[in-house]
Structure 1
Amino acid sequence: MAAIISCHYHHSCSSLISSKRIGSKLPTNCFVHLSTQTNNVASVRQFVPRCSSSPSGRGQWQIHQNREEGRSFSLRECAISIALAVGLVTGVPSLDMSTGNAYAASPALPNLSVLISGPPIKDPEALLRYALPINNKAIREVQKPLEDITDSLKVAGLKALDSVERNVRQASRALKQGRNLIVSGLAESKKDHGVELLDKLEAGMDELQQIVEDRNRDAVAGKQKELLNYVGGVEEDMVDGFPYEVPEEYKNMPLLKGRAAVDMKVKVKDNPNLEECVFRIVLDGYNAPVTAGNFVDLVERHFYDGMEIQRADGFVVQTGDPQGPAEGFIDPSTEKTRTIPLEIMVDGEKAPVYGATLEELGLYKAQTKLPFNAFGTMAMARDEFENNSASSQVFWLLKESELTPSNANILDGRYAVFGYVTENEDYLADLKVGDVIESVQVVSGLDNLANPSYKIAG
């Protein structure tokens, strides 16, 4: 089997080769630059997120960075990176991330069946829909053909509408045939709202059918988004309360028991085409209640307001390192850094695992419920060797899915994903170090936050 891998100057090899960024608590792309020469400054020790951005002992990225300013990108160096990538799927000797030495492919890497199981879902809103703790086949059979409209629209011109029409008919038929099963899956307290959404969904599909018949291609995507929002709302109405108990040692921390959305407004410097941008971020407390709860609590404390973007290197955008010696949030009630555990939800499980990576648990083939699939995947940074050291530093992955497929990178199962940017995510790539977060505000779901520490006096 041949691995089809492409190199992009901005998003892959060059950022690893030419990065001038000092040590920090951040991840980059899953494929690292490999050198077989022991005296080459581009050799790699570790490739994981860290927290600090100081060049002192707080340095968190364990990467020997190239010290030559402006070092040019070369095909040879990219080819070496490709060779390492191919090693992930062929089993040839790869790189020991802790020493830089070659080693035989580890069982920590997923097997070939995982890698070729199908194209990953890259749409953040689709990932959020599939991450809901529900099991209702009927609504999924409505959801899938509506999502497939995106692929249908990749066909040029009006020919795309023929495929769209098939998608709409399939979704409409699934809704008519499965409506009773969908309604029976709604939580009793949310049933009236769910039925209202189903009525809107049914009417909206008739409207989309008319759009197709009118050959109005430009109107399809907007109506598709509207219908999928109804589907997502119905699916959320199937969740009856919070589905599990958080472990005793974490249950008094701020917990997001459900979903919340925040708007992050960033003032962009030195960009004539973009002065400011508002990023909508959906936080998933069903699969990461401690991690998402910690973030919402900090948002309500205005912790991130006025903070600069601290890393923007083509792989990630990161912030959250406060001024001063602290590497995280100092809780005024304890005068100590508040840390949270590593929290990973495995697909098929009812509750997250805490304090260990999936590799450490021997879950080499496990799929994460919130994967690093989407451009703008949001996760917590932490110390390299301390799983439970995350505090306030967060990052957004600027991900090339073709280079880092789900569960074939070093991030899934090792870092806690807790949300996705769902609006204006493409503009994350335009952010630079020094751009200022003017504000982060919760726009929905604040009532899902339990144990809000920001309400404690003082």
Structure 2
Amino acid sequence: MASIISCHPYSSLFTSPLKQPIIHPKLSFSSHNNNAPIRLLQPLCCSQNPPPFQPRTKQENGLFSLKGCAISIALAVGLMTGVPALGWPGQANASNPALSDVSVLISGPPIKDPGVLLRNALPIDNKAIREVQKPLEDITDSLKIAGVKALDSVERNVRQASRTLKQGRTMIVSGLAKSKVDHGIELLNKLEAGMDELQQIVEDRNRDAVAPKQKELLNYVGGVEEDMVDGFPYEVPEEYQNMPLLKGRAAVDMKVKVKDNPNLDECIFHIVLDGYNAPVTAGNFVDLVERRFFDGMEIQRADGFVVQTGDPEGPAEGFVDPSTEKTRTIPLEIMVNGEKAPFYGATLEELGLYKAQTRLPFNAFGTMAMARDEFEDNSASSQVFWLLKESELTPSNANILDGRYAVFGYITENQDYLADLKVGDVIESIQVVSGLDNLVNPSYKIAG
């Protein structure tokens, strides 16, 4: 059964770099909950009171001795306070070193905004547009300053972005794909006009209007950056070329009916799927969405760490393709920064890439990934999960999930409401709202 395993909070984590944490039989999450399949699901919701940010995840097979000592005290505090541990498939390889380096754990503040992560994950290399993007993103931090004083900082952000756009416009336009130049220039014109409008908002001292305008401008930036991608940037390995592939991006809206919650009745989660970095994984999901595979399916796991769905009724633990009458499985697919194509069929640990950073990290609340069997890297099929929490014990940019599970998207709207979902809540529908034309080899069409 595809699952994520929970370790006992007092597992021996520091005995040896070659020993894995002890799994407590009573606290391990089996693949079924009350005899129901475990599933991960992602919703979009409307609620009066957004849930607080979640507790935390844990780390993996023992932290290596001397370097682990630098963080062992902090970890021990977390363990003694009862912070649950989260283990993962692939954890049983006793020869695996643990996290690569303490410097990774304590490096600068991680990026947790799904929009930023998605923009940074695009396969482009245009310094000019990135220099426009950054000060606009920094407005989020500027708004953390109390009162109207924040607007002075916002004004500096806007001036920097506007100046950079004017100076780098020629370079930006030269980076647009030939077939998308007109659309890219249209977005640049809207971006330039929008920054003038944001400057006026700041001068009017209208703090409440800043964030909505910032979001609009960053949407323009993201659109320009997508217009820089000229076709699909690499060849998928031959053995996977006939599978459903998402060669680009798509977005879906997932509508969930919530039971027994006085503050929440129905949720719609907007999810962006990234086929540039996970074409097989994202293509498999979009194909299942078009088959209406998830419609009417219940949330099958909601334990404070993840929300999961995708395990169909019956003995099969994944999608059974009616054309073959066999469970369709997909390979583990991990894109690493600095690489031109994903790695397939192995975790980064198994590949010896202990310091590698994944292009789609488990940084954001509502990160979407495939569940799989514990010891089978290529066993994912239809069960998906959304990560609910980030932990001091499993920090963003340096956690055991990265490189072990295939991330293929993020919830970008209403992700905070994921924590309101419970086992038994029903996915009324998942619908593709954009990017369906990026799906190739759609098996649902072949099946009729």
Distance 1:449 1:50, change over 3 A: farther
**Which amino acid letter does the alignment assign opposite residue 3 of structure 2?**
K
Partner letter of residue 240 of structure 1? Answer: D
Give 5+ residue unaligned stretches, structure 2: 14-20, 40-55, 76-84, 89-93
Identify if the C-alpha distance between structure 1 residues 43 and 180 changes in structure 2 by more than 3 Å, giving closer, same or farther: same
Aligned to 1:145: 135
SS at match of 1:263: strand
Pick from 303, 325, 333 the counterpart of residue 323 of structure 2: 333
Label 1:165 to 1:36 Cα distance change in 2 as closer, same or farther (>3 A).
closer
Residue-by-residue CA offset, 1:153-210 (whole Å, 9 max, x unaligned)? 0011000001000000110111011100000000000000000000000000000000
> AA paired with 2:152?
D
In 2: Cα distance, 1:258 partner to 1:398 partner = 26
Q: What is the deviation of 1:106?
A: 6.3
- Asked if the contact 1:211/1:220 (under 8 Å) is kept, the reply is yes
The answer on whether the counterparts of 2:367 and 2:411 sit within 8 Å (CA) in structure 1 is yes
Shift of 1:26: 2.7
Residue correspondence of structure 1 range 94-105 to structure 2 within 5 A: none
Q: In structure 2, how many angstroms separate the alpha carbons of the residues matched to 1:139 and 1:50?
A: 45
CA–CA distance in 1 between the matches of 2:325 and 2:30? 19
The alpha-carbon deviation at position 403 of structure 1 amounts to 4.1
- 1:399-440 Cα offsets, whole Å, 9 max, x none, are 225442234221000000000000000000000000000000
State the distance in 1 between where 2:5 and 2:359 align.
20
Aligned to 2:42: none
Instruction: Show the counterpart of 1:67.
Output: none
- Structure 2 SS opposite 1:132: coil
In the superposition, the TM-score normalised over structure 1's length comes to 0.82
> Paired residues, what number?
405
Which residue of structure 2 lines up, in the alignment, with residue 5 of structure 1? none
Residue 192 of structure 2: aligned partner: 202
Once residues 230 and 379 of structure 1 are traced to their aligned partners in structure 2, the CA distance between those partners, rounded to angstroms, is 27
Q: 2:381 — aligned with what?
A: 391
Q: Is 1:370 aligned to residue 360 of structure 2?
A: yes
- Which residue does the alignment assign to 2:23? 44
Name the counterpart of 1:246.
236
Cα distance in 1 between the residues matched to 2:150 and 2:277: 36
| Contact in 1 for aligned 2:258/2:267 (Cα 8 Å) | yes
Tell me if the contact between 1:24 and 1:51 (Cα under 8 Å) persists in the aligned partners: no
* Aligned equivalent of 2:219: 229
- Partners of 1:58 and 1:457 lie apart in 2 by 26
- Distance in 2 (CA, whole Å) between partners of 1:225 and 1:89 is 42
Q: Aligned pair in 2 of structure 1 residues 403, 163: CA closer, same or farther (>3 Å)?
A: farther
In the alignment, the residues of structure 1 paired with residue 403 and residue 30 of structure 2 have an alpha-carbon distance, to the nearest angstrom, of: 18
The 10-residue stretch of structure 1 (113-122 or 213-222) with the greater mean CA deviation from structure 2: 113-122
Distance in structure 2 (CA, Å) of the matches to 1:130 and 1:59: 32
Native 8 Å contact 2:2 2:372 kept in 1:
no
Residues 1:245 and 1:106: Cα distance change in structure 2 (over 3 Å):
closer
Matched, 1:314 2:293: no
Distance 1:105 1:245 in 2: 32
1: CA distance between counterparts of 2:447 and 2:37? Answer: 32
Deviation at 1:110? Answer: 2.4
Residues 393, 218 of structure 1: CA spacing in aligned structure 2 closer, same or farther, 3 A cutoff?
same
Where does 1:299-448 land on structure 2 (aligned, <5 Å)?
299-400=289-390, 402-448=392-438
Q: How far has the Cα of 1:105 moved from its partner?
A: 11
Of 254, 277, 288, the residue aligned with 1:287 is 277
CA contact (8 A) 1:51 1:383 kept: no
Confirm or deny: 8 A CA contact 1:267 1:276 kept in the other structure.
yes
Q: Distance in 2 between matches of 1:119 and 1:423?
A: 22
| Secondary structure, counterpart of 1:438 in structure 2 | strand
TM-score, with length taken from structure 2: 0.84
Matching of residue 192 in structure 1 with residue 182 in structure 2: yes
Query: Shift in Å at residue 27 of structure 1?
Result: 5.5
Instruction: Determine the C-alpha separation between the residues in 2 that align with 1:286 and 1:277.
Output: 28
Q: 1:379 to 1:198 in 2, by over 3 A?
A: same
Structure 1 regions of 5+ residues with no counterpart? 1-22, 61-77, 99-103
Taking the aligned partners of 2:367 and 2:321, their CA distance within structure 1 comes to: 27
Counterpart of 2:271 in 1: which secondary structure?
Answer: strand
For 2:272, what is the secondary structure of its paired residue?
strand
CA positional deviation for 1:452: 0.0
User: Amino acid of the residue matched to residue 70 of structure 2?
Assistant: T
* Distance across 1 between alignment mates of 2:212 and 2:5: 34
Q: 1:135 aligns with which of 101, 105, 125?
A: 125
In structure 2, relative to structure 1, the CA distance for the partners of 1:402 and 1:162 (3 Å cut) is farther
Deviation at 1:293, TM superposition (A): 0.1
| AA in 2 matched with 1:254 | P
Could you give the per-residue CA deviations for residues 190-241 of structure 1, whole angstroms, max 9, x where no partner exists?
0000000000000000000000000000000000000000000000000000
Partner secondary structure for residue 260 of structure 2: coil
Equivalent pair of 1:281/1:419 in contact (CA under 8 Å)? yes
- Aligned mate of 2:70, from 80, 86, 90: 90
**Matching residue of 1:126:** 116
Say what the alpha-carbon RMSD is for the aligned residues: 3.1
Q: Is the 1:26–1:318 contact (alpha carbons within 8 Å) kept by the matching residues of 2?
A: no
Q: Which protein, 1 or 2, shows the higher relative CO under an 8 Å CA cutoff with sep ≥ 6?
A: 2
